[in-house]
């Protein structure tokens, strides 16, 4: 009989080991190691230029490390191409939402989900394939509150709605690891409230890494935080303790009590 898996035998969803990426004399990501358990809600924060986006690029595969390894659920993906990483379950939403304005809102999500269909190499012309993908896309639009806009051209959406569409597109492949690059940027308070509700309701099967400047969003969504400074890890740990670190507190102009009071972890 196969023994039941226990927590110790389940590999982390993501394991970064000594990851380094330099541009000439500048080391944008400097010897970063990080292990995230499945179901993680992990934020990466730090000042401009700290290396946050470069780190997401390395995980997504759109940038390559000079040194170090990246392991997804036990499989080494350090040299795996970004499209393949996407099919393996790494999805990403961008600082600038990457939607196609000429397509309908629904078709943006259908297109994003297309490469993830189990029969992506065959039967792509069948009308049933489109219907299946459209049904699944409809569910993701409901998740982000855009179901009523499914038939509108994406170009007609507001900035906040485009961000939600970008998130629906990221969810279209049923990812196991979702990389969110500043999802709250440019959103109104209402939009941030909606975003918190949507991300907060994603199932634990989707692990999340969140790069975000809004510390309130980090405090609400993340259970663990890594603070980067000049490419290196300044501090990492549970949200409450990490945000109360003196250097972090000073950088975000909050009192320890104010931040710690908001934090989940």
- Residue 124 phi, psi (nearest 5): -75, -15
27 or 78: whose CB is closer to ligand ATP? 27
CB of 90 to ligand ATP, least distance (A): 18
Residue of 14, 40, 46, 112 that binds ligand ATP (CB under 6 A): 46
| Contacting residue, 51, 65, 89, 191, with ligand ATP by CB under 6 A | 51
Report the alpha-carbon distance of residue 68 to residue 115 in Å, rounded: 29
CA dist., res. 173 & res. 263, Å (int): 30
Asked if residue 48 binds ligand ATP (CB under 6 A), the reply is yes
Q: Using the rule CB under 6 A, give the single segment among 48-56, 109-117, 129-137, 187-195 that binds ligand ATP.
A: 48-56
Binding of residue 173 to ligand ATP (CB under 6 A):
no
Pick the closest to residue 182 from 162, 209, 203 (CA basis). 209
Please select the residue that binds ligand ATP; options are 12, 49, 237, 258, rule is CB under 6 A: 49
Distant-in-sequence, close-in-space partners of 230: CB < 8 Å, separation ≥ 6: 30, 49, 50, 51
Interface with ligand ATP includes 214 (CB under 6 A)? no
User: Which ranges in the chain belong to alpha helices (H)?
Assistant: 52-60, 82-88, 105-113, 127-143, 159-171, 189-200, 215-221, 239-243, 246-251, 256-262
Q: Select from 51-59, 85-93, 139-147, 187-195 the region that touches ligand ATP (CB under 6 A).
A: 51-59
Q: Which residues contact 41 (CB under 8 A, 6 or more apart)?
A: 207, 208, 210, 221, 222, 223, 224
Give 224's strand partners.
42, 238
Q: Which residues pair with 29 in a beta bridge?
A: 21
Residue 146 binds ligand ATP, judged by CB under 6 A: no
Residue among 16, 19, 50, 199 that touches ligand ATP (CB under 6 A): 50
**Residue 52 interacting with ligand ATP (CB under 6 A):** yes
Q: Near ligand ATP by CB under 6 A, which window of 30-38, 44-52, 108-116, 153-161?
A: 44-52
Q: What contacts 121, CB < 8 A, 6 or more positions away?
A: none
Q: What would the x/- binding string for ligand ATP be over residues 8 to 27, using CB under 6 A?
A: ---------------x--x-
Q: How far apart are CA 208 and CA 201, in angstroms?
A: 12
Q: Which of 16, 43, 53, 166 binds ligand ATP (CB under 6 A)?
A: 53
Q: Tell me how far, at minimum, the Cβ of 26 lies from ligand ATP, in Å.
A: 6
Positions in the binding site for ligand ATP (CB under 6 A)? 23, 26, 28, 46, 48-54
């Amino acid at each position: 009989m196969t023994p039941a898996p226990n927590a110790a035998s389940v590999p982390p969803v993501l394991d970064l080991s000594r990851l380094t990426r330099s541009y000439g004399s500048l080391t944008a990501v400097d010897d970063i190691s990080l292990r995230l358990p499945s179901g993680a809600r992990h934020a990466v924060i730090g000042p401009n230029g700290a290396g946050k986006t470069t780190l997401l690029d390395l995980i997504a595969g759109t940038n390559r490390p000079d040194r170090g390894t990246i392991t997804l659920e036990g499989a080494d993906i350090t040299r795996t191409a970004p499209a393949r990483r996407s099919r393996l379950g790494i999805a990403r939403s961008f600082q600038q939402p990457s939607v196609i304005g000429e397509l309908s809102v629904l078709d943006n999500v259908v297109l994003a989900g297309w490469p993830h269909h189990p029969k992506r190499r065959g039967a792509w012309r069948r009308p049933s394939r489109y219907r299946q993908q459209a049904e699944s896309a409809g569910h993701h639009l409901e998740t982000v509150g855009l179901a009523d806009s499914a038939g509108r051209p994406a170009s007609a959406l507001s900035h906040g709605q485009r961000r939600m569409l970008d998130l629906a597109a990221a969810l279209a492949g049923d990812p196991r690891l979702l990389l969110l690059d500043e999802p709250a940027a440019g959103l109104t308070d209402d939009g941030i409230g909606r975003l918190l509700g949507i991300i907060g309701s994603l199932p634990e099967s989707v692990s999340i890494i969140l790069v975000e400047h809004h510390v309130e969003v980090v405090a609400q969504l993340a259970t663990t935080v890594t603070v980067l400074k000049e490419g290196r890890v300044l501090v990492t740990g549970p949200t409450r303790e990490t945000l109360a670190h003196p250097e972090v507190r000073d950088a975000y102009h909050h009192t320890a009590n104010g931040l710690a009071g908001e934090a989940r972890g």
